[in-house]
Amino acid sequence: MSKPHSGLSSEATEKARLELNENPDTLHHDIQQVRDMIVTRPDIGFLRTDDDFILRFLRARKFNQSESFRLLSQYFLFRQQHLHIFHSFKVDDPGIKRALMDGFPGVLETPDQHGRKILLLFASNWDQNRHSFMDILRAILLSLEVLIENPELQVNGFVLIIDWSNFSFKQASKLTPNVLRLAIEGLQDSFPARFGGIHFVNQPWYIQAMYTIIKPFLKDKTRKRIYLHGNNLTSLQQLIGVECLPSEFGGSLPPYDVGLWARTLLGPDYSDESEYTLTYDALHVINRYGISPWSQSVVEPGTLKSADRETSTPLLALD
């Protein structure tokens, strides 16, 4: 039998005990209790059910077994219902690759003071002629799949910073209710990650208006973790130490290299002109980020039932 608790430092082990109700003595029992619930959902194809995989859902829901199973079910149901997102779900897919190369997302090597991995999105880098919002969402989901393999991040979680500087009204008008609900469903309701904070920086009025519109779709816990800083970098720095932030946010780290995470996934020989066929379980990713190989959760085309796609109108309409 696998040892799902291996890989945690003593500090993370204690944090998991205090914050997540994780008990090493009952770990295998807790996992099996969730696994036993799978028979209650014959409509869902559970493509991965090993101990380590189920454990991340227990950690995401503080070892509430019924809530953990609900999240596990939603994870695979979301993939069943949105096959277009997970078709060719790998780093060398052209759309995902372009999004990664443009920094969607960025991932800092230095965690914050709580051990949480910091993800960055510079919204104005969205070139709608180069990649779609769906490609950006796919790149974010794939990046999280890579990162969540690290048991420490299952315990410590993530922080997301979105810089809206120079994000135009025209760009914002392309964010439809449909794609925003899809992103919320994929990240909030269907993925086993702990988000300690979602920080909006330099957001214009129309982004604040958009947030007001989507707020009803957010869980109360999510709403409490969204911070609208505007131009006040001091409030951001009070929540994330300056020693953990790049200079764009008034931090002591060098300016963020937008291609850093893409190069990490694509390999040491990455260049903008090259084409790659590597997948994200390459050894350089494992060595650099302490991540083990992962490929079992990828949904292959045709494995699950497809769902109809909706059309939608812009959230913010241009006159």
Answer yes or no: is pLDDT of 312 > 70: no
Mean pLDDT over 171-198 rounds to 91
What would you report as the CA-atom Rg of the chain, rounded to the nearest whole angstrom? 19
233: exposed, middle or buried (Cβ count in 10 Å: 0-12, 13-18, 19+)? middle
Q: List Cβ neighbours of 40 (8 Å cut-off, separation of 6 or more).
A: none
Q: What is the pLDDT of residue 122?
A: 95
Q: Cα–Cα distance between 202 and 241 in angstroms, integer?
A: 18
Residue with tokens 């947030």: 211
Answer yes or no: is pLDDT of 179 > 70: yes
225-254 tens-digit pLDDT: 999 999 999 999 999 999 999 999 999 999
pLDDT bracket for residue 178 (50, 70, 90): confident
**pLDDT over 90 for what percent of the chain?**
69
Kindly list the distances between the CA atom of residue 315 and the CA atoms of 205, 206, 308, in Å, as whole numbers in the listed order. 14, 10, 21
Q: What is the mean pLDDT of the chain?
A: 84
253-280 tens-digit pLDDT: 999 998 899 999 987 545 554 443 333 3
78-113 tens-digit pLDDT: 999 999 999 999 998 999 999 999 999 999 999 999
8 A C-beta contact, residue 169 and residue 206: yes
Count CB atoms within 10 A of the CB of residue 247: 12
Return the structure tokens found at 3: 């040892």
Mean pLDDT over 117-129 rounds to 93
Domains defined along the chain, listed by start: 10-81 (1.10.8.20), 88-289 (3.40.525.10)
In this prediction the pTM is 0.83
pLDDT bracket for residue 295 (50, 70, 90): very low
